[in-house]
């Protein structure tokens, strides 16, 4: 887990990285291809549902003004709350709003498209410590980043149905999965960011911003 003092110091780095990423993204010519995505020219609205750790909190706060974020407890989430992107941390409410792009952090999307494998003891399988060996080279969320020098712990060992692709992973586990084939885009991060060294690297802030842009159709 990232110590609080280190996370606070990393906030400045996150802000600088996102400002640089915003300028680079604005210069890129990538058309929006997500039906119902966020309208160009206004801030992307995001609702983060659940217990967001320091790295997630500061990453989203650093995206202002391009992104406006509301943080709500799981018990306070209502499906009728409007947003361009929903981020679920740790768990998903029984009634999640359909038809809205979503990022799932250390939790699984409803519908069974992504499941957690069982270990030899029958409990959900977790990889204790791992690194990135495979990184997709052509996905917009990975533009300008390199996560191969990071360490990840307590990673859910996931199994994904057709339509899902591995963005970051190795032979032991998929660290980040994406599904761009449906009506709305979805992404799964198989660990809590604070259980890795990634938030201390510039590539983390850039990835989070890229992911928000891609999922929301910008």
Secondary-structure class of domain 4-215 per CATH: alpha beta
**DSSP E strands, the chain:** 44-50, 67-72, 85-89, 102-105, 114-116, 126-131, 134-135, 151-156, 158-160, 164-169, 174-179, 186-189
How do the domains of the chain map onto residue ranges?
4-215
What are the pLDDT digits (tens) for 78-119? 988 899 999 999 999 877 777 889 999 999 998 889 999 998
Residue-wise pLDDT for 34-76, tens only, equals 444 565 678 999 999 999 999 999 999 999 999 999 999 999 9
pTM: 0.84
Tally the residues of the chain: 218
Phi, psi (5° rounding) for residue 62? -75, -10
**CA 198 to CA 189: how far, in whole Å?**
12
């Amino acid at each position: 887990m990232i110590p609080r003092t280190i996370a606070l110091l990393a906030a400045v780095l996150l802000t600088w990285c996102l400002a640089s990423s915003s300028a680079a993204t604005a210069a890129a010519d990538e058309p929006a291809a997500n039906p119902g995505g966020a309208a160009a020219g206004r801030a992307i609205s995001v609702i983060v549902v659940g217990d967001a750790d320091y790295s997630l909190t500061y990453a989203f706060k650093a995206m202002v003004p391009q992104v406006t974020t509301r943080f709500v407890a799981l018990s306070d989430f209502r499906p009728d709350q409007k947003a361009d992107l929903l981020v679920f941390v740790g768990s998903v409410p029984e009634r999640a709003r359909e038809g809205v792009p979503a990022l799932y952090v250390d939790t699984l999307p409803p519908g069974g498209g992504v499941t957690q494998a069982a270990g030899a003891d029958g409990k959900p399988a977790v990889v204790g410590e791992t690194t990135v060996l495979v990184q997709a080279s052509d996905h917009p969320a990975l533009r300008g980043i390199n996560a191969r020098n990071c360490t990840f712990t307590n990673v859910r060992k996931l199994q994904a149905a057709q339509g899902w692709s591995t963005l970051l992973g190795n032979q032991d586990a998929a660290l980040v999965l994406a599904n761009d084939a449906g009506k709305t885009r979805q992404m799964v991060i198989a660990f809590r960011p604070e259980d890795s060294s990634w938030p201390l690297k510039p590539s983390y802030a850039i990835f989070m911003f890229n992911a928000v842009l891609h999922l929301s159709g910008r």
